[in-house]
Homo-oligomer: A and B are copies of this chain.
């Protein structure tokens, strides 16, 4: 768009259950096309948006960030309310919106990305949390999982945890954090484990492939050291299977020039 002079960043939440992921696909509806269509309905113009991370089918977001350009200035509150009106039939909502400078990129300006992966272990299948956790009928040993996770933190060649279709130029990535917490619920009848993964950027399926391997450790099928061997092998077949998408949530993206989580009364104009 030649006249595009006003750039906006939005904080986006979506339930990925019935979506094919961020990007348009032949077999269903993508988040990007739904938001672009809402922008079109709201502004009357064709507007393209770009996201911090292209989540896969079934993966959720509580803190996805995207940016787009409009050819006139909009009050951010009107953008939030107008977009949410047009998004209504879909499990997608604009949580916040900020005007940003023309050189801000939701994708390229991001300095850190954080995902949560939720696991529920109990005898009974997930019901109230169905579609938002990986349910496992057996308990997981947290401490060995934490030890194995620590082996992956740092700068490594993550080929063993990289999807075949990954388009990143290099398999070398810096993993800033891979930590686990667990909470025992219903008087010990169930345990909810949350795995936090944070890095400047991730390879395709990297978080889910790391989680799949951590679960092997938690189930006692792998000794902790096997995580180091899997990493060193630089061979996808040596790591665990890809954890299912529904446990994964893109939770937060950090930018030097934008912080949705720092509030001020003037932030909604």
A63 with B95, Cβ < 8 A, contacts A84-B125, A123-B81, A127-B13 known? no
Contact B187 A127 (CB under 8 A): no
Residues of B within 8 A of A128 (CB): 13-15, 60, 62, 91, 132, 249
Contact A189 B96 (CB under 8 A): yes
Residues of B within 8 A of A124 (CB): 13, 80, 84, 93-95
This chain: how many copies in the complex? 2
> Which of A63, A125, A259: most chain B Cβ within 10 A?
A125
Q: Does any Cβ of B come within 8 Å of A262's Cβ?
A: yes
Residues of B within 8 A of A96 (CB): 123, 189
> How far, in Å, is A34 (CB) from chain B's closest CB?
12
Residues of B within 8 A of A145 (CB): none
Q: Per-residue 0/1 for A43-84: is the Cβ within 8 Å of any B Cβ (1 yes, 0 no)?
A: 000000000000000001011000000000000010011001
Number of A positions contacting B (CB below 8 A): 39
Q: Does any Cβ of B come within 8 Å of A11's Cβ?
A: yes
Residues of B within 8 A of A15 (CB): 127-128, 130
Q: Does any Cβ of B come within 8 Å of A217's Cβ?
A: no
Residues of B within 8 A of A62 (CB): 128, 186
Q: Which residues of chain A from 1 to 47 have any CB-CB distance to chain B below 8 Å in the complex?
A: 11, 13-15
Contact B261 A11 (CB under 8 A): no
Contact A130 B91 (CB under 8 A): yes
Residues of B within 8 A of A261 (CB): 186-189
Q: Does any Cβ of B come within 8 Å of A192's Cβ?
A: no
Q: Does any Cβ of B come within 8 Å of A92's Cβ?
A: yes
> How far, in Å, is A193 (CB) from chain B's closest CB?
18
Tell me the bound Cα distance from A67 to B125 in angstroms.
20
> Which of A94, A122, A123: most chain B Cβ within 10 A?
A123
Residue of B nearest to A13 (CB): B127
Instruction: Report A's interface with B, CB cutoff 8 A.
Output: 11, 13-15, 60, 62-63, 77, 80-81, 84, 88, 91-96, 122-128, 130, 132, 186-190, 249, 259-263, 268
Told that A91-B130, A92-B127, A95-B122 touch, could you supply 14 new A-B pairs with CB distance under 8 A? A11-B186, A13-B128, A14-B127, A15-B130, A62-B186, A77-B123, A81-B123, A84-B124, A91-B127, A186-B260, A187-B259, A187-B262, A187-B263, A188-B261
